[in-house]
């Protein structure tokens, strides 16, 4: 099985915290989309005949595309590759793009899952974030998506906002969970360099939330979603059984995927490749005017470290045997240390983070990294 990712690099507005690649000018949209279809045709052989278990339209804002534009990608893919009968086909969507007609169009072209970028139900928060939608649109979009007949759907929420307390976060979760969604992603706000938020922090206009508040909100979120039967199958992702995101899970499990579009990444199990994060240079490159991608071969140690970084974030953990004999030898003491701290457990041959360890996932993974030089 493989995955296919399309990066749609356009947004209506720039969100204050966002460091993904996108443009707010749609002037090059048709040109870039045509280049993406060309890239798909050129690179489909990289799947080596593997059937697609998932297709993901991410961005950017894929819901800016009409159902007809989306269908050109799906029809092209169907003509070039095998798609599994139960493949998950997801579109990331912003609430202001949702209408009954749009949802029917998406279902008609084969979309099976909608991921709604809600982020907050508070008007003043959405305005501060620079989101294109308002709180009323969030609620209406959720109701429409819930009743549109997709196999699954999910929403994104952000916690750890400046000045956010447990009362506000609890209110956000309550509003979300009363809609009975089968899946929820809850991300902690991070201040990425080269974002408007970073500038606001540097100039002292914004005081970011502190580690203690973020940890308290993280743990509160876990407790609240567990009450309604959502399983934390990845640090930031919660789903009912049968609704875990196939596409993202395949990233975390090291399954190969092909990424199409500006800034899209691909991984074939050994090599990682990434396209230029610039729409014009990308489209010109696909047309033959210059290289539009870079790639690197991962060493065995780098591959182990990637498995640790992503696999430890999941409820399945990492299969120790798959990391090789040298891993155990190098890390015997570190593993014992984290077992003693009750931050890691060893179960059925897998290293798995305990509830306590989930607070320190990245640090534990990097402490277990194999030397790369």
Separation of alpha carbons 159 and 293, rounded Å: 34
Using an 8 Å Cβ cutoff, are 292 and 263 in contact?
A: no
Separation of alpha carbons 234 and 362, rounded Å: 13
Applying CB under 6 A, among 5, 6, 8, 15 the residue interacting with ligand SF4 is 15
Token pair in block for residue 335: 């593993």
Separation of alpha carbons 331 and 320, rounded Å: 11
The torsion angles phi and psi of 134, rounded to 5 degrees, stand at -115, 175
Q: Which residues contact 130 (CB under 8 A, 6 or more apart)?
A: 13, 14, 15, 16, 196
Count the site residues for ligand SF4 by CB under 6 A.
11
Strand 271-275 relative to strand 265-267: parallel, antiparallel, unpaired? Answer: antiparallel
- Of 196 and 231, the one with the shorter C-beta distance to ligand SF4 is 196
Stretch that binds ligand SF4, among 55-63, 138-146, 217-225, 361-369 (CB under 6 A): 55-63
Applying CB under 6 A, among 18, 139, 201, 222 the residue interacting with ligand SF4 is 18
Smallest distance from ligand SF4 to CB 19, Å? 8
Applying CB under 6 A, among 6, 7, 8, 11 the residue interacting with ligand SF4 is 11
Q: Note whether 22 binds ligand SF4 by CB under 6 A.
A: yes
From the number of C-beta atoms within 10 Å of its C-beta (0-12, 13-18, 19+), residue 155 rates as buried
Smallest distance from ligand SF4 to CB 84, Å? 28
Stretch that binds ligand SF4, among 11-19, 99-107, 169-177, 357-365 (CB under 6 A): 11-19
Would the CA dihedral through 192, 249, 272, 307 be positive or negative?
positive
Applying CB under 6 A, among 44, 55, 56, 59 the residue interacting with ligand SF4 is 59
How many CA atoms does the CB half-sphere of 196 hold within 13 Å?
Answer: 9
Instruction: Tell me which residue has tokens 């990425």.
Output: 192
Smallest distance from ligand SF4 to CB 131, Å? 7
Smallest distance from ligand SF4 to CB 332, Å? 42
Smallest distance from ligand SF4 to CB 11, Å? 3
Smallest distance from ligand SF4 to CB 4, Å? 19
Q: Note whether 1 binds ligand SF4 by CB under 6 A.
A: no
List residues near ligand SF4 by CB under 6 A.
Answer: 11, 14-15, 18, 20, 22, 59-61, 94, 117
């Amino acid at each position: 099985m493989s995955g296919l990712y399309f990066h749609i690099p356009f947004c209506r507005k720039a969100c204050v915290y966002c460091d993904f690649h996108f443009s707010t000018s749609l002037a090059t949209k048709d040109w870039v989309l045509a280049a993406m279809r060309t890239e798909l045709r050129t690179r489909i052989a990289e799947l080596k005949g593997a059937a697609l278990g998932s297709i993901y339209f991410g961005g950017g804002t894929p819901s800016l595309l009409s159902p007809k534009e989306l269908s050109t990608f799906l029809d092209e893919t169907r003509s070039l590759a095998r798609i599994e009968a139960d493949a998950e086909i997801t579109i990331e969507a912003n609430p202001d793009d949702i209408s009954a007609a749009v949802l029917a169009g998406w279902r008609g072209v084969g979309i099976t899952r909608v991921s709604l970028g809600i982020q907050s139900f508070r008007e003043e928060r959405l305005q501060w974030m620079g989101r294109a939608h308002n709180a009323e649109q969030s609620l209406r979009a959720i109701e429409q998506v819930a009743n549109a007949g997709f196999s699954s759907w999910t929403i994104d929420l952000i916690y750890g906002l400046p000045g956010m307390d447990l009362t506000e976060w609890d209110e956000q979760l309550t509003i979300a969970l009363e809609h009975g969604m089968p899946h929820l992603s809850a991300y902690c706000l991070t201040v990425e360099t080269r974002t408007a938020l970073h500038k606001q922090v540097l100039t002292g206009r914004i005081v970011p939330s502190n580690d203690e508040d973020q940890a308290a909100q993280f743990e509160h979120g876990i407790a609240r979603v567990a009450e309604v039967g959502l399983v934390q199958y990845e640090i930031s992702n919660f789903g009912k059984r049968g609704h875990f995101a196939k596409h993202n899970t395949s990233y975390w499990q090291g399954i190969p995927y092909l990424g199409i579009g500006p800034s899209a990444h691909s991984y074939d199990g050994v090599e990682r490749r990434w396209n230029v994060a610039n729409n014009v240079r990308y489209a010109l490159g696909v047309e033959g005017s210059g290289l539009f991608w870079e790639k690197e071969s991962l060493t065995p140690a780098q591959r182990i470290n990637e498995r640790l970084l992503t696999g430890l974030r999941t409820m399945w953990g990492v299969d120790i045997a798959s990391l090789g004999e040298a891993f155990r030898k190098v890390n015997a003491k570190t593993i014992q240390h984290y077992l003693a701290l009750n931050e890691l457990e060893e179960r059925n041959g897998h290293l798995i983070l305990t509830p306590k360890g989930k607070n320190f996932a990245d640090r534990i993974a990097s402490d277990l990294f194999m030397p790369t030089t």
